[in-house]
Amino acid sequence: MSALVLWVLWLLAIFAIGLTLAYRRVGLRTSTIILGFTLIAYSLFGVGYWIWKALLWALFGGLVALNFTRFRREQITAPLLKIYRSILPSLSDTETEALEAGTVWWDGELFSGCPDWSKLTAMPAPRLSDEEQAFLDGPTDDLCRMLDDWEITHVLADMPKEVWAHIKKNRFFAMIIPKQYGGLEFSNLAIAAVLAKIAGRSTVAASTIGVPNSLGPAELLLNYGTEAQKDKYLPGLASGDEIPCFALTAPRAGSDASAIPDTGVVCKGTYGGKEITGIRLNWDKRYITLAPIATVLGLAFKLYDPDHLIGDKDEHGITAALIPTDLDGITIGRRHFALNNPFQNGPTQGKDVFVPLDSIIGGPERAGQGWKMLVELLAAGRAVVLPANAMGGSKAATYASGAYTRIRNQFNVPISHFEGVGEALARIAGNTYILTAASTVTCMALDRGEKPAVPSAILKYHCTELGRQVANDAMDVHGGKGIMLGPRNYLGRTYQAVPIAITVEGANILTRSLIIFGQGAIRCHPFVLKEMQAATNPDYDQSLRDFDRYLFEHIGYAISNAARSFFMALTHAKLTAVPVTGSLARFYQHINRYSAAFALAADVSMLTLGGELKRKESLSGRLGDVFSAMYLASMVLKHYDNQGRPEADLPLVEWACRTLLYQAQEQLHGLLRNFPNRLAALGLRILIFPRGRTYSAPSDALGNRIVKLITYPTETRDRLCAGLYTTKEPGNPLALLQAALEATEELSPLDQKLRDAVRAGLVTADGPMARIDAAEEAGVLTAEEAKQLRDLDRQVMELIDVDDFDGSELGTQTRSAAPARKKHTAKKKKAKKKPAHKA
Ligand SMILES: Cc1cc2nc3c(=O)[nH]c(=O)nc-3n(C[C@H](O)[C@H](O)[C@H](O)COP(=O)(O)OP(=O)(O)OC[C@H]3O[C@@H](n4cnc5c(N)ncnc54)[C@H](O)[C@@H]3O)c2cc1C
């Protein structure tokens, strides 16, 4: 063997040993010892110029030096700490509170580059209690039966009185309130299930019920209220006698809610006939859900104390208070009209409204803590209500689209048979699987005491975006049937409601661009927050000790992620250990791979861009997408486990994981293409994609398998859409579509017989009914068979029909600007020339 080959082999051996040590995250000391022995062996037996060996020993000397902690701290860490302190962006209290809110759960594992799957797989499958199940089967079904979406959205622009009464009587507004105050005290899983079922029927009802069970007065009181406040308000909120709303948003402060201009000034005043120290409030809020009918207003404002009546500070910051809406100076009651989904939402103003100090939630000592309260509660709350509503709407769209595309024929075949329609159907079903998995598994974590801030942002963003895609696809496959509004339209209002979910509780563009990665990078990263806290510790010795420890652990972690990413990319992640065997194991392995690649890319992004990354929203958004894709794919795998791994559902799991992991790959690629530091981008590309982008999106064949699962009455279809209101009765389109689908399936042999007869020239008539008549006459079908096919055709046409109206029924005013039909043509033309407002 030539000397050159031997030299290369030795080099490869040293590289392999280094790679293994890094891949396995072996500690500094042990790694130093192993590499030392390797170098001794190389020096004694290996080939190569002495200068080369000297270089390796010099590098090794540096490694040895790192093992001397005092030397390392004083010579390396101390100067680095100085630089770090000077560049550490100063965080406002608001930002610090947002960053520290909530807990770190599975998201932390994904950020580690080496997820410990047992933390996810060990969690038991979620289960509703008997009481929760009874509530779903009883009062929730009853409510669904009472909901007539057209009446609500068009005729009344509100829910009818009996629906309001049912909601209050059955304490739908009190699902989060403990039993001791008269509430239902349901788990998050149950709240999501109730909302999803209702959302499949009416977005207005789901939004109305969602708000009091989300971030609002009850949640704030439960977490921060004084006992007196809880006793005063919670029983009324539970019984529905009190209607709550929470007002944060102002015309000048939407996404930047911490900039609210609304004020409260501590001063003396008269309340209930007595002179007291209280707060004089002035506000102008908009977009507030339930405000028009609220009796208790949760209000966020900035508190000032110029006369120092409650402390030394002039300004306390954002504060949250509870205010009865019947006080003097309050304007409330007008309504906004949210995209034809007329749930109660409107503005409110307050002019010099004087309230006692104990209106502050948690009492005067909680003055200035309003923002902290809100971000803490949002940390968990965003994972429940909006994702549940998206889940309910998407399940309903899947159930309806699967049946509708099977019973609707064009070009003489069901439209579900067309590949183009099939693509949309596969997306509808696959996306519904993803958001159902994400919602139920994350609710399970919440019910086990987690308050995962970053996953809740992931859920808010992705479930509402997936819901938007499902709504778009469902509209497309329904054609005009989805567009013509009226009592027979079961899609239009949900479609119209999509931007509402996208905008509320943190608008989606902001959530993707700033929050998911921005918060995740600090919160879920194993070292960044610890380094920041260590660096800002005023005790210098402790600061240096801690900073040194976390910094070197961080460096080891980054080297390990580089090694893991490179090795797993080279081997297509085939050698990484995962908790399952079989076809799904590959998805676990790819999540391991992307976890390491993502952690590496995140570190390099933070290192090279620093504070600039906050402004590079497109890069931060892409990193957030990679993180989200891994999170959602893990939820899909766990959900499949929780459902007992039904073999028939595998195509959905595969479609979901492939779609998500392909997105992870493409977003990493997009990050590298746009990375400002080209040298760093090149290094990252070598470590992340040494073999190029090899992961593929779901195949057409896989999509076709999914289409069959949802356009036939299968168990997978039932499992995917479980939890919808599907009682067969007039006015329930989902149940009627299912019945038509089942009948179509049952009568398909007869339909085939008829088609064969047409093809053979035995039946020549045109049109479905005429053909059935002709087939009966020709003896192709018996009288009974012909009747069954006629009944089916009528059943299908009932569902395909849309509504039409007299023009006067559509406007809110009887006078129409459109020319009357019976008028002379010439007059019509003349009328058209006139601008409508002058007509
Ligand atoms: C139907 C409905 C119900 C609501 N209910 C309530 C309620 O009960 N109580 C309450 O207090 N509020 C409520 N809101 C207000 C809601 O929270 C705000 O609408 C939301 O915070 C966005 O504010 P904005 O509409 O003013 O949009 P803007 O803040 O003007 O944002 C417009 C766009 O810019 C994007 N954007 C803004 N800043 C950034 C950034 N830094 N980076 C990237 N993108 C950015 C946003 O994502 C959005 O796409 C409701 C709103 C609606 C529509």
pLDDT digit string (tens) for 10-24? 989 999 999 999 999
Task: For ligand 1, atom 44, name the residue with the nearest CA.
Answer: 510
Of ligand 1's listed atoms, the one at least distance from the Cα of 255 is 29
Average pLDDT over residues 374-387: 86
How confident is the model over 510-536, as a mean pLDDT? 91
Nearest atom (ligand 1) to Cα of 505: 17
249 lines ligand 1 (CB under 6 A): yes
Q: Which atom in ligand 1 lies closest to the alpha carbon of residue 499?
A: 53
Of the pLDDT bands very low, low, confident and very high (cuts 50, 70, 90), residue 831 is very low
DSSP characters for 322-337? EEETTSTTEEE-----
Tokens representing 661 are 């992991």
Mutate-to-test residue for ligand 1 from 249, 335, 614, 620, highest number of ligand atoms within 8 A of CB: 249
Q: Which of 737, 777, 781 is nearest to 755 (CA)?
A: 781
Q: Contact, 21 vs 35, CB < 8 A?
A: yes
> Alpha-carbon torsion 774, 777, 780, 781, what sign?
positive
User: Which residue has a Cα nearest atom 25 of ligand 1?
Assistant: 254
Does residue 345 line the site of ligand 1, with CB under 6 A? yes
401 ligand 1 Cβ < 6 A: no
Q: Are 711 and 414 in contact (CB under 8 A)?
A: yes
Residue located nearest, by CA, to atom 45 of ligand 1: 510
Confidence (pLDDT) at 647 = 97
363 CA from centroid of ligand 1 (Å):
29
pLDDT band at 523 (very low <50, low <70, confident <90, very high): confident
* pLDDT of the residue at 819: 59
With CA atoms as reference, report the closest residue to 429 among 656, 647, 632. 656
94 pLDDT more than 70: no
Short-list 689, 562, 571, 591, CA closest to 18: 562
Do the Cβ atoms of 396 and 490 come closer than 8 Å?
yes
pLDDT of 815 strictly over 70: no
Residue 388 and residue 401: Cα distance in Å, rounded? 20
In terms of DSSP H, where are the helices of 675-782?
Answer: 678-688, 700-711, 715-720, 733-746, 748-759, 768-777
Question: Measured from the CB, is residue 291 less than 6 Å from ligand 1?
Answer: no
The answer, yes or no, to whether any atom of ligand 1 lies below 6 A from the CB of 513, is: yes
Residue closest via CA to ligand 1's atom 37 equals 255
Q: How far apart are CA 631 and CA 516, in angstroms?
A: 11
- Ligand 1 pocket test: which of 207, 219, 246, 255 has the largest number of ligand atoms within 8 Å of its C-beta? 255
What is the CA(622)–ligand 1 centre distance, in A? 21
**CB of 288 sitting under 6 A from ligand 1:** yes
Q: Cα of 721 to ligand 1 centre, how many Å? A: 31
Half-sphere exposure for 52 (CA within 13 Å, toward CB): 10
E strand intervals along 114-203: none
Ligand 1: residue of 510, 512, 514, 516 to mutate (most ligand atoms within 8 A of CB) is 510
Q: Is residue 822 scored above 60 in pLDDT?
A: no
Neighbours of 825 (CB within 10 A): 8
Query: Helix 617-642 vs helix 650-674: angle between axes, to the nearest 10 degrees?
Result: 160
In tens, the pLDDT along 103-158 reads 899 999 999 999 999 999 999 999 999 999 999 999 999 999 999 999 999 999 99
CA 658 to mean position of chain CA atoms? 19
| Ligand 1 site, residue 248, Cβ cutoff 6 A | yes
620 CB near ligand 1 (under 6 Å): no
Give the mean pLDDT of 559-587.
Answer: 95
Residue 243 CB less than 6 A away from ligand 1 = no
Span from the CA of 730 to the centroid of ligand 1 (angstroms): 39
Residue 186 three-state SS: coil
| Residue 254 beta carbon below 6 angstroms from any ligand 1 atom | yes
Are residues 183 and 365 in contact, defined by beta-carbon separation less than 8 angstroms? Answer: no
- Determine whether the shortest distance from the Cβ of 499 to ligand 1 is under 6 A: no
Residue 817 pLDDT class (50, 70, 90 cuts): low
Q: Whose CA is nearest to atom 1 of ligand 1?
A: 500
Is the per-residue pLDDT at 744 higher than 80? yes
Ligand 1 pocket check: which of 502, 503, 509, 619 to mutate, most ligand atoms within 8 Å of Cβ? 503
CA separation for the pair 442, 455 (Å, rounded): 8
Q: Name which residue sits closest to atom 31 of ligand 1, judged by CA.
A: 255
From the candidates 132, 465, 505, 776, give the one annotated as an active-site residue: 505
Is the CA virtual torsion 422, 423, 424, 427 positive or negative?
Answer: positive
CA of 507 to the centre of ligand 1 (A): 5
Q: What is the mean pLDDT of the chain?
A: 93
What does the pLDDT look like over 178-197, one tens digit per residue? 999 999 999 999 999 999 99
pLDDT in tens, 311-355: 999 999 999 999 999 999 999 999 999 999 999 999 999 999 999
- Is residue 509 lining ligand 1, measured as CB closer than 6 Å? yes
Distance 503 CA to ligand 1 centre (A): 5
pLDDT tens-digit map of 439-453:
999 999 999 999 888
Pocket test for ligand 1, best of 208, 339, 504 (most atoms within 8 A of CB): 504
> Atom 11 (ligand 1): residue with closest C-alpha?
248
500 in contact with ligand 1, CB cutoff 6 A? yes
Ligand 1 mean position, distance from CA 508 (Å): 9
pLDDT bucket at 809, cuts 50 / 70 / 90: confident
Share of the chain above pLDDT 70, in %: 96
Q: Is the pLDDT of residue 791 over 60?
A: yes
Residue bearing the CA closest to ligand 1, atom 14: 287
- pLDDT tens column, 203-232: 999 999 999 998 889 999 999 999 999 999
The Å distance, Cα 546 to ligand 1 centre, comes to: 40
CA of 296 to the centre of ligand 1 (A): 23
- Ligand 1 proximity of 260 Cβ (cutoff 6 Å): no
Out of 49-58, 286-295, 618-627, least confident range? 49-58
What residues does 253 pair with on adjacent strands? Answer: 250
| Site of tokens 């004694």 | 44
Nearest to 548 by CA among 561, 562, 530, 526: 530
Assign 298 to helix, strand or coil. Answer: strand
Confidence at residue 814, expressed as pLDDT on a 0 to 100 scale: 56
Residue-level pLDDT at 1: 66
| Average confidence (pLDDT) over 686-715 | 97
Ligand 1 centroid vs 210 CA: distance in angstroms? 18
Long-range contacts (CB closer than 8 Å, 24 or more residues apart) made by 14-23: 14/38, 14/39, 14/42, 14/56, 18/563, 19/563, 19/566, 19/567, 22/559, 22/560, 22/562, 22/563, 22/564, 23/560, 23/563, 23/564, 23/567
Q: How far is the CA of 255 from the centre of ligand 1 (A)?
A: 5
The verdict on the CB of residue 338 being under 6 Å from ligand 1 is yes
Kindly tell me if the per-residue pLDDT of 835 is higher than 50: no
Among protein residues, the one whose CA lies closest to atom 39 of ligand 1 = 510
In the residue annotation, 531 being an active-site residue is answered as no
Residue ranges in 67-160 assigned as alpha helix (H)? 69-71, 78-87, 93-100, 106-111, 118-121, 130-135, 141-146, 149-150
Region 169-186 average pLDDT: 97
Residue 833 has a pLDDT of 40
Tens digit of pLDDT for each residue in 757-772? 999 999 999 889 999 9
Contact in structure between 467 and 395 (CB atoms under 8 Å)? no
Question: Cα–Cα distances in Å, from 425 out to 200, 389, 660?
Answer: 18, 20, 17
Q: Tell me the CA–centroid distance for residue 359 and ligand 1, in Å.
A: 27
pLDDT for res 137: 98
Q: What local confidence, expressed as pLDDT, does residue 379 receive? A: 74
Ligand 1 near 589 CB (within 6 A)? no
- Hey, whose CA ends up nearest to atom 4 of ligand 1? 287
Mean pLDDT for 701-724 is 98
- Of all residues in the chain, the percent with pLDDT exceeding 90 is 86
CA of 505 relative to ligand 1 center, distance in Å: 7
34 touches ligand 1 (CB under 6 Å): no
